[in-house]
Each structure stands twice: as C-alpha cells, then as structure tokens.
C-alpha cells in the first residue's frame, strides 16, 4: 500500500551518546543556518550519512527537520516579512515546481555533478559578497521591471531544482537572490527564506522524497527538536547582531560550503 508520507518506527541502533551528538550537530548547524540564511545541510546532511542513514532517507529527514528550522526562525522574525507578500508568492509559485522536479531527477543524475554545480555557485556568492561591501546591509527601494521579475522567477525555479536534489546551501542562493533583485537587507531576506524555503520548499521536497522509503522516526524527532531550537536561537542572535554580523557569517559559510562540496567528491 502506497502512503504519500510515512514515518516508520524501526531500530536505528544508535546509542544515547550518538543520539545526543546528532542533536548537538543539528542544533549548532541550524543556529548558523538561521543567522546566515542557509547552510544547515552542510553539516547536518553529511552527519546523518556518517551515522549510517542512506543518502535519500537522510535528505528526506534533513528536509523535514529544516521545516522545523523555518518555523522556529519565522516565529522569531515574522515582522520582517511584512510588505513582501508578492515576493513570497512568487518564490512559492515558481520554486515549488522546481523542488518537485529536483526530487525526480536526483535519482537520475550523479550526486557528484550536482554537488560540483552548487559548489561553484556558492563560492561565486562568497566572492560577490566580498566585492560588494554594502550588499545587504540596508534596504534599497529598487524599481523592478518585467524582465527583473522574469529573471527572478527563472532563478527561483532553478534553485528549487537544486533544493529538491541536494538541499545544502540553496537557502544561501535564495537569500542573495532576494538581496540582489529587490534590494532587501540580509535580515529581511533571511526571514523570507525561512518562510518559503525553510517551510514550504522543504516540506514539498520531504513529501516527494518519501516515495523512496521510510524515515527513522527516532532520528527524525531529534532533528526536528534541534532544528526548531537552533532556528529560533539563530534568529534571535541575528536580530541582536544586525546585518554586518550576518553578512560576515554569510560570506564565510559560502566559501566553507563551496570548498566542502568540492572536497566531498
């Protein structure tokens, strides 16, 4: 019997100490992710694989947990999404189909090529952030033309494909896309990324990936708890530290994610 979404209880043979380490890894990776606007998968996803969970199940579990990150961050930063409902709607309309397509092609294309592609994009983002000293530090009222909206929608679809197939670092891509296209500051962009990518994109990806098989529920509960608390804590810190701190962490994570993805294979 096919079930659209199932979480199956089975023994994952992990000690209490191992489960504790998974929680700590999940919490810390999501704290950094919620501050910089993405990157939780850089640490969390490989960690799950190292603990013996198959790639596709680990990816699905990571996506479900990241929904908790999105909820935790959105609760803390809900005020920053005001007046940006059109942008949110566009990310959902054009991004979610990309996510679904990404989950379909993840089994057809070698992970190696997908990781290399994302690594290149991410390193370019880091270089771009360094070369633009004022990027994302303040909001700018930009006049957006039809072509800009068209380009934004196309890029949202492409990033959605990467989100559905790789996940790691795609939140960073959306964050910088929002800053570059609409002139938003980091805090506002990350708040939108929490809501759209963190909750809706990842929930869609998790449901689509659930067709591959069941997810270890004991690990899932730990990840959800770590992601929610990490998302809330990171969002709180980002409000305290401001855009300068967020940009520095964002730039560092871009290079770290890019190099890690390249070295992974």
**Structural domain of 86:** 16-264
Number of domains present in the structure of the chain: 1
* Statement: residue 87 has pLDDT above 80: yes
In a domain, 36, yes or no: yes
| Structure tokens belonging to residue 125 | 């983002």
In a domain, 181, yes or no: yes
Scan for tokens 């962490």, then name that residue.
249
Give me the chain's average pLDDT, please: 77
φ/ψ of residue 144, rounded to 5: -100, 120
In a domain, 92, yes or no: yes
In a domain, 4, yes or no: no
In a domain, 208, yes or no: yes
> Over the stretch 120-137, which tens digit does the pLDDT of each residue have?
777 777 787 777 766 656
- What's the DSSP call for residue 131? H
Percent of the chain at pLDDT > 90 equals 14
Average the pLDDT over 245-256 and give the result: 74
In a domain, 10, yes or no: no
φ/ψ of residue 220, rounded to 5: -60, -45
**Residues 35 and 239: beta-carbon distance below 8 Å:** no
H or E stretch at 30: helix 16-36
Per-residue pLDDT band at 6 (split at 50, 70, 90):
very low
Instruction: Return d(Cα 179, Cα 187) in angstroms, integer.
Output: 10
* Statement: residue 1 has pLDDT above 60: no
Which DSSP string corresponds to 128-144?
A: HHHH-TTTTTS---PPP
In a domain, 248, yes or no: yes
In a domain, 11, yes or no: no
| Structure tokens belonging to residue 240 | 């305290």
pLDDT at 96: 95
């Amino acid at each position: 019997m096919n079930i659209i979404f199932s979480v199956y209880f089975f023994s994952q043979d992990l000690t209490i100490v191992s489960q504790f380490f998974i929680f700590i890894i999940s919490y810390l990776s999501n704290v950094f992710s919620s501050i910089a606007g993405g990157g939780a998968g850089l640490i969390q996803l490989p960690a799950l694989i190292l603990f013996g969970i198959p790639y596709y199940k680990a990816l699905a579990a990571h996506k479900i947990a990241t929904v908790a990150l999105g909820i935790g961050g959105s609760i803390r930063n809900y005020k920053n999404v005001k007046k940006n409902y059109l942008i949110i709607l566009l990310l959902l309309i054009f991004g979610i189909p990309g996510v679904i397509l990404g989950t379909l092609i993840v089994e057809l294309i070698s992970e190696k090529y997908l990781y290399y592609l994302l690594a290149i994009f991410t390193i370019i983002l880091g270089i771009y952030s360094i070369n633009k000293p004022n990027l994302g530090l303040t909001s700018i009222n930009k006049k957006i033309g039809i072509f800009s909206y068209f380009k934004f929608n196309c890029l949202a679809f492409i990033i959605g494909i990467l989100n559905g197939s790789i996940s790691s670092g795609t939140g960073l891509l959306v964050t910088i896309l929002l800053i570059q296209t609409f002139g938003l500051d980091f805090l506002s962009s990350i708040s939108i990324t929490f809501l759209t990518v963190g909750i809706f994109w990842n929930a869609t990806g998790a449901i689509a990936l659930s067709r591959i098989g069941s997810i270890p529920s004991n690990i899932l509960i730990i990840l959800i708890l770590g992601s929610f608390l990490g998302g809330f804590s990171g969002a709180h810190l980002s409000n305290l530290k401001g855009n300068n701190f967020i940009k520095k962490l964002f730039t560092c994570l871009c290079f770290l994610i890019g190099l890690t993805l390249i070295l992974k294979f």
